[in-house]
Chains A and B, each alone.
Chain A
Amino acid sequence: MRYNEKQLQALSRQPAEMAAELGMRGPKKGSVVKRRLVKLVVNFLFYFRTDEAEPIGALVLEHCRVNREEPSGFSITFVEDTERKYHFQCCSENQCQEWIEALRRASYEFMRRSLVFYRNEIQKMTGKDPLEQFGISEETRFQLSSLKA
């Protein structure tokens, strides 16, 4: 699949939501843990060799699951193949928990659901649609399901 790699590289240099050196192990059988600089920017998880400025790769964080892996670690799997796990090793319980929470919120789809939720709550409380003032209330991507009254 073609993609705009230069733009992705530029994105990897943006300020990150989370960045740390973690142990990382790829999903292939027999892969070993390597130290990587792992950086979360919007819905991309970049990983770098610790002494390099360009990322080796990136994980797009849509439709993924983040699970706790003892001790002090977590794994990311994707919906279409839950056997392929990307493993990450943190250095403390706290750090592990922080990463898991950040990654679970890091998808566009999660943001969208949050928006729909808040929109509905505010509308319930005020009777007004908070998106109207921004002129985006008609956008299909922000609509509630057809169950909406």
Chain B
Amino acid sequence: MKLNERSLAFYATCDAPVDNAGFLYKKGGRHATYHRRWFVLRGNMLFYFEDPASREPVGVIILEGCTVELVEAAEFAFAVRFAGARARTYVLAAESQAAMEGWVKALSRASFDYLRLVVRELEQQLAAMQAGGCPPPPRRPRAILPKENGCAVWSAELPATPPVSNTDARPGPELPLLPPRQQTSVPSRPLDTASFAQLHERYGQEIRALRGKWLKSQARP
């Protein structure tokens, strides 16, 4: 399958703050040897480089649909698994307990789906608040000129209007930002039926369970 690799490499190495970064040992696909690589998590993609100064990633693990669990392959090891018989499982190992926990947490919540659920939840909360008789402060839609590489969000001022995305300058839309999900042409997704709270609780349970298991394994003499 073709992929816009040049753009992907650019996204991997741009200046914006990353969601997590650090050295991890990655178990080779065919052989049992671990390679130490510099990992960078950005959005729902986990890039890995030879070292922090590399200009281009060796590879990327697209995290959509993955689960993360602790494994006993090595100390501080965890696995990124995908459903499906032929999907490859990635075994990674951190260099400390804290690093491992940080990575497991970050990777478990890295999916676009998860983020979208959080955003929808907040969107609904805000809409409910505004409908509940609390008039929103008057806002004039104001064009926001995005900086070239879209990385401005971290260093730019907080926009006074909903963010304008991937576009030439034009006035931002009023709430709600996300289009209503009643398009008849799109099949409804199973995730729609689970509430955000349920899904978040499930993620939280998984993490607590993993942590419990790890602590128990550490308690052995």
Interface residues, chain A, with chain B CB atoms under 8 Å away: 1-11, 14-20, 42-43, 54-67, 78-81, 101-122, 125-126, 130-131, 134-136, 139-141, 144-145, 147-148
Contacts and interface: CB of A to CB of B under 8 A. Distances in A.
Given A11-B65, A58-B3, A118-B126, A43 B43 contact: yes
B7 A80 contact: yes
A19 B186 contact: yes
Given A1-B57, A108-B115, A113 B6 contact: no
Interface string B98-114: 00000000100101110
Contacts of B159: 113, 117
A140 B122 contact: no
B134 A4 contact: no
Contacts of B116: 42, 111
Contacts of A15: 186-190
B119 A1 contact: no
B122 A130 contact: yes
Contacts of A114: 119, 123, 162-163, 177-178
Interface in B121-166: 122-123, 125-126, 129, 134, 148-151, 153-159, 162-163, 165-166
B61 A118 contact: no
B188 A3 contact: no
A39 to B, nearest CB: 10
B62 interface: yes
Contact of A104 (B60, B106, B109, B166): B166
A66 B166 contact: yes
A79 B148 contact: yes
Given A43-B43, A140-B19, A144-B158, A112 B115 contact: yes
Contacts of A106: 166
Contacts of A16: 186-187
A101 B5 CA distance: 24
14 contacts: A2-B58, A2-B60, A4-B90, A14-B189, A18-B183, A42-B113, A63-B149, A67-B167, A111-B112, A112-B153, A113-B153, A130-B125, A136-B118, A144-B158
B188 A107 contact: no
Contact of A145 (B109, B126, B154): B154
Question: Considering residues A5, A79, A135, which has the most beta carbons from chain B within 10 angstroms of its beta carbon?
Answer: A79
B10 A3 contact: no
Contacts of A111: 112, 115-116, 119
Given A9-B1, A10-B82, A109 B153 contact: yes
